[in-house]
Amino acid sequence: MTGVEIEWKGRTGPFPLRLEPGVFVPSSTSLALADALCVKPGDEVLDFGCGCGVLGFVAARLGAARVVGCDCSEASVRVAEDNALQLGLEAVTDFRVGSLYEPVADVSADVMVGDVAGVPDALAEATGWPSGGPTGVELPMAMLDGLADHLRPGGRLYLPTGTLHDSPPLVAAAERVFGAGNLRLVSERRFPLPNALLEAKGVSDLIDDGVIHLERRGSRLLWALLVLECVRA
């Protein structure tokens, strides 16, 4: 396996991870999701947008009996499988290529990690961050649509959202699926946005249209990352 090795220093770490070009590097969202996860011994976990497998490995180290991860990127799935082997977690992890539920039609889970939200296309083009469609939430909205067949009653979805995409429709969709009383904010973090991004093509339009929202503190512009725990009744 070619590429580089990094060290995961988040929850259940440190442990090494190998990456290849084009495989998503664990991010601030990964760290926040890892901290928020509630995985009970024996749980089965479904990890959407698994990337190099890091959140699946965190879940396995927390006691999950089985972790199934999926990603549209063949390179990501190959890397995740190799990382699982190096970490001695290949017996409890299963990584598959495909989008959302297509590769996991046979899976039902106690815990879902829904790290498929992105940023709007214009912001993705300027930053290289994952694109989630015109408003950044098209993919997680589709994930919510198919959730009932794959998340067991009492199961938990960990859903990242925030102010760099059009979060109100996503949260409203989650409330329709789970019920407003079954959503809980379990993490909230803020990060500076480079001022240069405001000059990128299309970004000012996203702000004017209310798709993204930034908070000014002194000379800095901040964006917020939120993680919701959504419990199925």
Q: What is the pLDDT of residue 132?
A: 81
| Regions of the chain with pLDDT less than 50 | 1
Q: Report pTM.
A: 0.94
- At residue 200, the pLDDT reads 79
Per residue, what are the HEC states of the chain? CCCEEEEECCCCCCEEEEECCCCCCCCHHHHHHHHHCCCCCCCEEEEECCCCCHHHHHHHHCCCCEEEEEECCHHHHHHHHHHHHHHCCCCCEEEEECCCCHHHCCCCEEEEEECCCCECHHHHHHHCCCECCCCCCHHHHHHHHCHHHCEEEEEEEEEEEECCCCHHHHHHHHHHHHCHHHEEEEEEEEEEECHHHHHCCCHHHHHHCCCCCCEEECCEEEEEEEEEEEECC
Q: What pLDDT, on a 0 to 100 scale, did the predictor assign at position 2?
A: 64
In this predicted structure, what is the pLDDT of residue 202?
Answer: 85
**What structural domains does the chain harbor?**
28-231 (3.40.50.150)
Question: What is the pLDDT, as a whole number, of residue 103?
Answer: 97
